[in-house]
């Protein structure tokens, strides 16, 4: 295969097709719509189900139904649409069926705007739907990673009977860059034992998330939790850049992480010993490696396109042992590398503190910049 110029949304759609996607259910919303549009042509062409649903509620519940048959299914949306899907995601989690969601995040809250943002971190990583459950969350920083993680997401979802969300932002969905698509995989032919298909002479199968007996529901919750511990043990993924001798560590995911890398390289050219730690799995979060970095680093700078949502997860690991600063742009504003470089230089210049909250210091610095 060779690289081609391809748009992120289209690339994810085609990657899913080639990974053996058996059915897609979605609803148009910017900046995700090209994904749905691509599949509206490709899926019928291949004789595979495609439904443009009446709403995101409809779409996620079509996914829920199709997932109960054990087939490879997905939906995609953007922030306000994903909010509508939260009910269905909780039910899917509660029924323990695998499904894939792509969230192409835009500026919020509310209708917000259609510019790239990372404000869905808490909604996706820390729940959003009701009850105790976890989704596995993958955060690509390029079109190529979006392709690779889409393919990966189906395998992990089926392995753990868990929802996998590919959390990307509007810029990865909308930009074109060279990337290589995977070869076409044959469709799955086996049906898992738990999947409904009609009894055909066997015992009936019931897939449900209701359990009126609290002790039984408690056991179910504990089973989910144990499975999540297995996910935490096996599925942590991240990327490190220039961390071997780094005194300062920038932490950022997705597009914010990618922009931060430019800033880190510029800082290196100025002789600053700084590296980038980019979590790929936002859930499970790479706690252990971040803990190791806490022992090595002088200070951290967390960079996000939100008001410091992952920041709190970083602070939980660092636990005040080293100074943590934060830099974010919100509401659909994408930071420039220069802004992050200036923040790195501030870190070097000091003073550094483990007191107070980094978000408060960021807000006062930001006020000086944007008023």
Minimum CB separation from other proteins for residue 328, in Å? 35
* Binding letters toward other proteins, positions 194-223, x by CB under 8 A: --xxxxxx--xxxxxxx-------------
Q: Which one, of 272, 311, 316, 257, lies nearest residue 139 by Cα?
A: 257
Minimum CB separation from other proteins for residue 216, in Å? 14
Residue 22 in contact with other proteins, rule: CB under 8 A: yes
Minimum CB separation from other proteins for residue 221, in Å? 18
Rounded to whole angstroms, the Cα distance separating 138 from 154 reads 12
CB 215 within 8 A of CB 314: no
* H or E stretch covering 12: helix 8-18
Among 19, 21, 53, 163, binds other proteins (CB under 8 A): 53
Residue 86 in contact with other proteins, rule: CB under 8 A: no
Among 63, 124, 163, 290, binds other proteins (CB under 8 A): 63
Among 18, 28, 46, 65, binds other proteins (CB under 8 A): 65
Residue 61 in contact with other proteins, rule: CB under 8 A: yes
Near other proteins in 33-52, by CB under 8 A = 49, 51
**247-to-13, 19, 261, 323, 344 alpha-carbon distances in Å:** 40, 41, 15, 12, 11
Residue with token string 């055909």: 200
Tokens for 79, please give them: 């922030």
Rounded to whole angstroms, the Cα distance separating 65 from 97 reads 10
Cross-strand partners of 205: none
Residue 29 in contact with other proteins, rule: CB under 8 A: no
Minimum CB separation from other proteins for residue 77, in Å? 15
Rounded to whole angstroms, the Cα distance separating 315 from 232 reads 19
Cross-strand partners of 293: none
Counting residues that bind other proteins (by CB under 8 A) gives: 39
Per CB under 8 A, the segment of 180-188, 193-201, 275-283, 311-319 that binds other proteins is 193-201
Q: Which one, of 169, 176, 209, lies nearest residue 333 by Cα?
A: 169
Summarize as ranges the residues that interact with other proteins (CB under 8 A).
Answer: 22-23, 25, 49, 51, 53-55, 57-59, 61-69, 71, 73, 87-88, 91, 95, 196-201, 204-210
């Amino acid at each position: 295969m060779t690289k081609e110029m391809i748009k992120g949304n289209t690339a994810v759609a085609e990657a899913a097709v080639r990974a053996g996607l058996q059915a897609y259910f979605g609803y148009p919303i910017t900046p995700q719509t090209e994904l749905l549009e691509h599949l509206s042509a490709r899926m019928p062409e291949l004789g595979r189900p495609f439904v443009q649903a009446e709403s995101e509620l409809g779409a996620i519940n079509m996914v829920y139904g199709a997932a109960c048959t054990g087939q490879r299914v997905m939906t995609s949306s953007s922030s306000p649409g994903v909010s509508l899907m939260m009910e269905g995601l909780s039910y899917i989690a509660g029924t323990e069926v695998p499904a894939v969601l792509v969230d192409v995040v835009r500026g919020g809250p509310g209708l917000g705007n259609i510019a790239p943002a990372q404000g869905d971190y808490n909604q996706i990583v820390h729940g959003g739907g009701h009850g105790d459950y976890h989704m596995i969350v993958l955060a690509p920083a390029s079109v190529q990673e979006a392709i690779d993680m889409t393919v990966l997401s189906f395998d992990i979802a089926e392995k753990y009977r868990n929802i996998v969300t590919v959390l990307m932002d509007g810029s990865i969905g909308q930009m074109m860059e060279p990337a290589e698509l995977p070869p076409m995989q044959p469709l799955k032919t086996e049906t898992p034992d738990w999947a409904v298909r009609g009894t055909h002479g066997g015992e009936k199968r019931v897939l449900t998330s209701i359990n009126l007996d609290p002790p039984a529901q408690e056991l179910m919750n504990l089973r989910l939790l144990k499975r999540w511990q297995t996910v935490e043990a096996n599925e942590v993924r991240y990327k490190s850049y220039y961390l071997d001798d780094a005194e300062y560590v920038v932490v950022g995911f997705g597009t914010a992480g990618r922009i931060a890398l430019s800033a880190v390289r510029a800082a290196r050219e100025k002789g600053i010993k700084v590296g980038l730690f980019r979590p790929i799995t936002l859930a499970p979060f790479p706690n252990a490696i971040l803990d190791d970095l806490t022992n090595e680093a002088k200070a951290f700078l967390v960079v996000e396109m939100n008001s410091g949502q992952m920041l709190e997860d970083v602070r939980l690991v660092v636990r005040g042992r080293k100074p943590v600063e934060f830099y974010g742009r919100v509401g659909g504003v994408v930071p420039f590398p220069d802004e992050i470089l200036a923040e790195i230089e501030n870190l070097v210049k000091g003073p550094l503190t483990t007191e107070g909250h980094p978000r408060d210091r960021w807000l006062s610095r930001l006020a000086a910049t944007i008023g």
